[in-house]
Amino acid sequence: MVSVKDQLMENLIKEESPPRNKVSIIQAGEVGMACTISILIRVSEILE
């Protein structure tokens, strides 16, 4: 049987991982700009 102390310590120790939703656009050429605009449009539609 798990004690209350063990349950409390377990909840304090658990860490949430940060969201992994970063995108890096490497090139600033036409394809990179098109990808950037496409991603920004999708995000803005989701946030509305």
CA angle 13, 17, 22 (to 5 degrees): 165
pLDDT tens profile 1-48: 778 877 766 655 556 667 677 777 777 788 888 888 888 888 888 877
pLDDT of residue 15: 66
pLDDT of residue 11: 56
Q: How far apart are the first and last CA of the chain?
A: 48
Model pTM score: 0.46
Question: What CA dihedral angle connects 25, 27, 31 and 33, to 10 degrees?
Answer: 60
Question: What CA dihedral angle connects 12, 15, 19 and 24, to 10 degrees?
Answer: 140
